[in-house]
Structure 1
Amino acid sequence: MHQLDDLKLINEIDRSGMWKRLIAFPNQCEKAKRFIDGLDVPFYSEGIENIVISGMGGSAAGGDILISYLRENLKIPAIVNRGYSLPLFVNEKTLTIVISYSGNTDETLSSLKYANEKGSKLIAITSGGVVEEFCSRKGIPIIKIEGGGQPRESIGYIFIPLLVLMEKMGFIEGQETDILETIELLKTLSKGYSPESTENDAKRLSLDMHGKIPLLYGIHGLTDSIAIRWKNQFNENSKIPAFYNVFPELNHNEIEGWDTNHELGHNFFVVILRSEDEAENISRQIEITKTILSDSVGGIKEAWGKGNGRLARMFSLIYLGDFVSYYLAILNGIDPTPVKNIERLKRQLRS
């Protein structure tokens, strides 16, 4: 029996039971949809000229995925803001959506106060904390989500309300079918990626990558946000360094870095996150890049999204990455849940 098929060993390493929460992710998405479907929006899209989604870490990931997904449907500019301040253009015609899973993120609270001072239309997505307290005092609408977990494990609670909110406010339309397809696909994938499944794509990829530094290559406007997600999951779950870049930009700089020093390059394992929606010229770039890199890195694999709709394909890739990062943690003998360095940093900042 391989160690990734040994549930007793997995439970000994994964003391907080992350694998059970990963398996339950489709239910999280389903629950988030029921919750947001029952809420009324505080205002509509009229008069809003731009959107800023402000958050950090796992809380910001939902914004990355939303903007990538809506790239060809959203008619006004939208950005994700990571930091204490906001861009100068933020004003009363801006919709600022502040996301802090814990409600106690210093950077996000600072940007919330900045947006409020600028007269921006504001909505907060949080499970509580100081963000909820501030918004309650100021009369700022709150979408209160379920707390108690890790932000990176709560992407369903963050993304689904964001997407449905965009639809309810009138920025987009027709998301119901895509959301339902995504949830049903995730339910199927959860069985195939679970520790009990021996014929398991996530386990296979983690075994291929074990001992290497992950390098994720996404596609601009399609899988770029997913590459960031994979990178961050390897950092937080697997406790290893990981890096990402994006086609076609990487072929104007990074590709040259593989020309020499193959000994160094063989420490890296490249995963290319592909999409059925990619343009032919991008597909050609990817194939040529694979040929150029083949002797310079420690391995190359492709991961393709599953499903009919674009949302399903995106989330199937996200889900695969979550499990691959989890199984890498198990292979490394590391409990994936604690984030000791992040907590240490926060403690020292507060002292």
Structure 2
Amino acid sequence: MRYQDLLQEFAWKPVIEGGAMPQASRVVVGGMGGSALPANAARFLDPTLSLSTHRDYDLPEVVDTDALHIAISDSGNTVETLSFAKAAYERGLKLAVIDAGGELADIAEKEVLPFVRVPSGLQPRDSLFYLLNALLALIGREDLRAALAAVSFDADAAEQESRSLAGTLTGALPLFYVSRTNGFLAYASKIHVNETAKMPAVANLFPELNHNEMQSFDSSAPEAVVALARFVLLRDANDDPRIARRMDVFAELMRARGRSVTEVPLLGATRAEQLARHWFVMHRTARMLAEARGVDPDTVSLVEDFKKRL
């Protein structure tokens, strides 16, 4: 994906079709994999959003009968999301749909549910900002859509950052560590590396990781894992100073033990710019890693094989 393609996603204007859009102060999103990412991205843009994510079959154990339930499946055929949508409809819950076609689209049209159809042909992770725009339209957050549409950044500088990071992570086990408030960016980094580069990766949060995961890198055992570990600290100038201090001390301790630590600044004047720029950096980094490994960055053959065997 080129920078211009990304700008096109930012500026895309979703159209709500089908039935009347119900009003609700709380939202439950049902989605899997890349189709669940827009819910996390929306909360990154506004952490005060009353929005939860259900990544499973059926409905959450505690059903919020007043909430708007939104089923998101880029393919329209994700079995867990279809289960979520059908259960919500059968319970008479407020329900809306985001898809690019498939069975979920058929359900939305048959039952006259409000829906947004996103452009097709992309992997869900590469369709993030189409899906996010659709979600924000359904929940009436035009202010956040406007913030996305206003995003721009230096694509050449981002490309150079990606090239440098890919060089560090080639043949390694990346561990993306970040503050809790920026947790989605570490998770998105992991997903890019998993799906595009076909490499294992870890995402975790400060300060929690200082109470457990960090300890596993104090000794050399298991050496095979420690030797591959490359810590990537995502640094935000707006982080709580106490978290920034934890990152400083962590980096100091790991480097003293011979571990590789790379610090990546989260640049951008707004949350929307931080989200978009880091997503682009990791998109490009993962594709460079895939090229270095000689693997197809776009296919997810193991995931597809698994689905067929079900």
- Tell me if TM exceeds 0.5: yes
Letter matched to residue 71 of structure 2: V
Letter matched to residue 42 of structure 2: L
Whether the 8 Å CA contact 1:265–1:297 is kept in 2: the answer is: no
Partner of 1:205: 165
The 3-state SS of whatever aligns with 2:53 is strand
**Partners of 1:135 and 1:89 in 2: how far apart?**
24
Partner of 2:230: 269
Aligned pair partner of 1:120 in 93, 97, 105: 93
Q: Root-mean-square deviation (CA), in Å?
A: 2.1
C-alpha change, 1:173 and 1:280, in structure 2 (3 Å) is farther
Give runs of aligned pairs for residues 256-335 of structure 1, distance below 5 A.
Answer: 256-261=215-220, 263=223, 264-296=225-257, 298-335=259-296
- Does 2:1 correspond to 1:28? no
Aligned pair partner of 2:185 in 209, 226, 229: 226
The 3-state SS of whatever aligns with 2:150 is helix
Q: 1:241 deviation in Å?
A: 0.8
Q: 1:161 deviation in Å?
A: 2.0
**Partners of 2:258 and 2:67 in 1: how far apart?**
45
**Partners of 2:215 and 2:233 in 1: how far apart?**
17
**Partners of 2:149 and 2:105 in 1: how far apart?**
30
Letter matched to residue 101 of structure 2: G
Q: 1:278 deviation in Å?
A: 0.9
Q: 1:91 deviation in Å?
A: 4.0
- Does 2:224 correspond to 1:251? no
Letter matched to residue 215 of structure 1: L
Q: 1:176 deviation in Å?
A: 5.4
Letter matched to residue 42 of structure 1: A
Q: 1:228 deviation in Å?
A: 1.0
Letter matched to residue 217 of structure 1: Y
Letter matched to residue 210 of structure 1: T
**Partners of 1:297 and 1:80 in 2: how far apart?**
39
- Does 2:68 correspond to 1:108? no
Letter matched to residue 180 of structure 1: A
**Partners of 1:24 and 1:102 in 2: how far apart?**
24
Letter matched to residue 213 of structure 1: L
Aligned residues: 308
**Partners of 1:118 and 1:41 in 2: how far apart?**
17
C-alpha change, 1:22 and 1:343, in structure 2 (3 Å) is farther
- Does 2:3 correspond to 1:42? no
Letter matched to residue 138 of structure 1: E
Q: 1:177 deviation in Å?
A: 4.8
**Partners of 1:179 and 1:104 in 2: how far apart?**
28
Whether the 8 Å CA contact 2:136–2:142 is kept in 1: the answer is: no
Partner of 2:147: 178
State the Cα deviation string for residues 104-155 of structure 1 (Å, max 9, x = none).
Answer: 0001000111111222211110001000111212221110111122111111
Percent of pairs with identical residues: 28
**Partners of 1:139 and 1:67 in 2: how far apart?**
28
Whether the 8 Å CA contact 2:88–2:95 is kept in 1: the answer is: yes
Whether the 8 Å CA contact 1:212–1:298 is kept in 2: the answer is: no
- Does 2:22 correspond to 1:53? no
- Does 2:309 correspond to 1:340? no
Letter matched to residue 112 of structure 2: G
State the Cα deviation string for residues 254-284 of structure 1 (Å, max 9, x = none).
Answer: 1111111163312111111222321111111
C-alpha change, 1:237 and 1:179, in structure 2 (3 Å) is same
State the Cα deviation string for residues 215-241 of structure 1 (Å, max 9, x = none).
Answer: 1112212x2111111111111111111
Whether the 8 Å CA contact 2:44–2:271 is kept in 1: the answer is: no
Aligned pair partner of 1:217 in 174, 177, 181: 177
Partner of 1:132: 105
Report the TM-score when normalising by structure 2: 0.92
Whether the 8 Å CA contact 2:42–2:136 is kept in 1: the answer is: yes
Partner of 1:5: none
Letter matched to residue 173 of structure 2: I
C-alpha change, 1:165 and 1:214, in structure 2 (3 Å) is same
Q: Which moved more, 1:79-88 or 1:278-287?
A: 79-88
Can you give the 5+ residue segments of structure 1 that lack an aligned partner in the other structure?
A: 1-20, 195-199
Letter matched to residue 71 of structure 1: P
Report the TM-score when normalising by structure 1: 0.82
State the Cα deviation string for residues 62-111 of structure 1 (Å, max 9, x = none).
Answer: 11111222113x2xx32111111221332430111110000000010001
Aligned pair partner of 1:66 in 34, 37, 42: 42
Q: 1:49 deviation in Å?
A: 4.6
Can you give the 5+ residue segments of structure 2 that lack an aligned partner in the other structure?
A: none
**Partners of 2:55 and 2:131 in 1: how far apart?**
16
C-alpha change, 1:319 and 1:143, in structure 2 (3 Å) is same
